Amino acid sequence: MKCTRCRGAAEVQLRAHNSAFCRPCYLLFFRLQVERAVASEKMFTKEERLLIAVSGGKDSLALWDVLVDLGYDTTGLYLGLGIGAYSSRSHDKAAAFAAARGLTLRVVELAEEGPGMAVPAVAGLTRRPACSACGTMKRHYFDQLAIDRGFPVVATGHNLDDEAARLLGNVLHWQMPHLARQRPVLEPTHPRFVRKVKPLFRISEYETAIYSFLRRIDYVVDECPNAVGATQLVYKDMLNRLETASPGSKLTFLQDFLSRAQPELPSANADGPPQTCVQCGMPAFGEVCGYCRLVRETTAKRERRAASGAA
């Protein structure tokens, strides 16, 4: 097998791209893919400060690595979700990555926020699925941190597999508002929202794993325990089977949606821009934002338990 680019011995075969690469050419290919995504979607410029949401997993660390390599001004943000050993290991990997490269990593521990907002405690007290509570808090802290510290952009490590699985889920349930918002760049619709971008949206999980391996990135391998049994994993599995039978299917599915179907959808803001939360000043759909509702419910439940002596 020969390298598609330099004709040397290839080590990596990418059936989806009908290509094979030697190590140096693979790294070039990966960087080029990210550069193209950033440029074609007008995600950000070299003059803008980027806040990279890092989980300690391969995708977000590979994203941070490649953006540093491409010369962008980056700062990492690690949100400690308080999910036992998984969170401790993720924090260690993110911190070690930043320290080894002299990069700045900001850390927010949810257990130390508000009345104590670790995901398992909040989910248990408010009787919400862990991922729903987790998603609300991630959205809140990503925007709040970015706004308070002067970052116009938050970049996340969502890859092609994530986006294709999300698309499949949205299509299976015809979630029109979700489909209208499924884009690699989301412009802010409120003064306390920042631009959200997904520079890896055309790069598969497999490609990111190879990049991380070749760049010797040490990442947390285990999935979050709450991901076990998630429908998203069933969709990923289905798409992987399709990809094996027909390489390139995932990319075509997502790309064709973005170029052909997405522009036909009504605006994601058909109901108007969000209001402002009366409690924290962040965007809200209603008087109080989703995060403040979680804080209220968590506080009330804790107080009730304390009063009844059950806490």
Q: Residue 119's binding partner, choosing from Zn ion, ligand SF4, none, with beta-carbon cut-off 5 to 8 A by kind?
A: ligand SF4
Interaction of residue 209 with Zn ion, rule CB under 5 A: no
By C-beta, is 220 or 282 nearer to Zn ion? 282
Interaction of residue 119 with ligand SF4, rule CB under 6 A: yes
x/- letters, 69..88, toward ligand SF4 (CB under 6 A):
------------x-------
By C-beta, is 130 or 289 nearer to ligand SF4? 130
The Cα–Cα gap between 195 and 143 comes to: 9
Interaction of residue 137 with ligand SF4, rule CB under 6 A: no
Interface with Zn ion (CB under 5 A), residue from 14, 16, 20, 22: 22
By C-beta, is 134 or 165 nearer to ligand SF4? 134
Q: Which pairing describes strands 73-80 and 49-53: parallel, antiparallel, or unpaired?
A: parallel
Report the half-sphere exposure of 173 (CA within 13 A, side-chain side): 12
The Cα–Cα gap between 213 and 88 comes to: 22
Cα–Cα distances in angstroms (integers) from residue 63 to residues 6, 128, 173, 198, in the given order? 25, 31, 30, 9
Token pair for residue 152? 């116009």
Q: Residue 280's binding partner, choosing from Zn ion, ligand SF4, none, with beta-carbon cut-off 5 to 8 A by kind?
A: Zn ion
Shortest separation between residue 220's beta carbon and ligand SF4, angstroms: 11
Shortest separation between residue 211's beta carbon and Zn ion, angstroms: 15
Interaction of residue 37 with ligand SF4, rule CB under 6 A: no
The Cα–Cα gap between 213 and 165 comes to: 24
Interaction of residue 227 with ligand SF4, rule CB under 6 A: yes
Q: What are phi and psi of 79, to 5 degrees?
A: -105, 110
Instruction: Identify the three-state secondary structure at position 76.
Output: strand
**Which H or E run contains 80?**
strand 73-80
Interaction of residue 124 with ligand SF4, rule CB under 6 A: no
Strand ranges (E), 243-300: 275-276, 283-284
Q: Residue 117's binding partner, choosing from ligand SF4, Zn ion, none, with beta-carbon cut-off 5 to 8 A by kind?
A: none
x/- letters, 270..309, toward Zn ion (CB under 5 A):
-------x-xx-x------x--x-----------------
x/- letters, 244..263, toward ligand SF4 (CB under 6 A):
--------------------
Q: Positive or negative CA dihedral for 192, 232, 65, 96?
A: positive
Candidates 76, 70, 14, 11; CA nearest to 37 is: 70
The residues of the shown chain that bind ligand SF4, judged by CB under 6 A, are 81, 119, 130-131, 134-135, 224, 226-227
